[in-house]
Amino acid sequence: MSNAQQTEQISAGDGFIAALDQSGGSTPKALRLYGIEENEYSGETEMFDLIHKMRSRIIKSPAFSSGKVIAAILFEQTMDREIDGQPTATYLWEKCGVVPFLKIDKGLCDEDQGVQLMKPIPGLDDLLDRARAAGIFGTKERSVISAANKGGISAIVAQQFELGAQVTAHGLMPILEPEVTISIADKAEAEEILRDEILTHLDALPDNQTVMLKLSLPSVPNFYKPLIDHPKVLKVVALSGGYNRQEANEILARNEGMIASFSRALTEGMSDKQSDAEFDAALAQAIDDIHAASVAHEPA
């Protein structure tokens, strides 16, 4: 696996990143949106079998390897499983030309100062070594901002960059994800604090370290352009954050240089009950729409 080739694929950014990383807490909702109710399975093992089947169906669809999806973020159990007899990360890169990332956070702490920091991640060094051996290119780690509180946002950014340094030390590329909740009244103010805090930390990074950023779609078009243009940032990607696909695409298209990393908005309208032809058509349309929003930006 060529790390340089994968870095160039992410940097060029002619496409978007598929977020296929729903974990334990969000898996029942993901399955429900896919048309599988909780009374149709019993226990975590069966639940994770079903979500892996869904993800495998997405990854094996012809639309997924069209070149419009440049990377995918996986849940740990997805990394540990196989698709058609190959480890998932290997299948993604060798069969689809898609760069594999791994979600590493283990959920959120209770809210304090308007933010939710990441919980401790037991055994992280071992997980990062295992991810590197499995062909994973980078990681993703999420925390949440729910108020324009400078102290809270400062703490969340510091934690993200501290974890990013640990990831980098294992030869992996970190995607730092301090998500701003899109429904809060002071979202624009929170984004201003967040951008300034991130810039301060970026300017302090050593010469051999770069990061990626996954951010909520901003209230002001091109607000994150200083981050996109920063020499220590490989790529800035956007989460859909609760917007439906059409809304998310419309906002994203007004942000030059920012590409999508959508989860729910990607799989919107797809169902376990669809035939393969129907499913593939729905996925192809979603990929075409998100790709267009990621690469063909409108004037702000």
247 burial class (0-12, 13-18, 19+ CB within 10 angstroms)? middle
Q: What would the pLDDT profile of 125-167 be if each residue is shown by its tens digit?
A: 999 999 999 999 999 999 999 999 999 999 999 999 999 999 9
pLDDT (tens place) for every residue of the chain, 300 residues total: 458 999 999 998 789 999 998 776 778 888 998 989 989 999 888 998 999 999 999 999 999 998 999 999 999 999 999 999 999 999 999 999 999 999 999 999 999 999 999 999 999 999 999 999 999 999 999 999 999 999 999 999 999 999 999 999 999 999 999 999 999 999 999 999 999 999 999 999 999 899 999 999 999 999 999 999 999 999 999 999 989 999 999 999 999 999 999 988 999 999 999 999 999 999 999 999 999 999 966 555
Confidence (pTM):
0.95
One-letter amino acid for residue 147 of the chain: A
What is the rounded distance in angstroms from the CA atom of residue 247 to the CA atom of residue 249? 5
Cβ pair 298, 219 in contact under 8 A: no
Looking up tokens 């901003």 gives 218
Which sequence positions are flagged as catalytic? Answer: 177, 214
What is the rounded distance in angstroms from the CA atom of residue 50 to the CA atom of residue 48? 5
The class that CATH gives domain 13-295 is alpha beta
Looking up tokens 């990062």 gives 128
CA dist 134 → 93, 101, 261 (Å) = 11, 11, 22
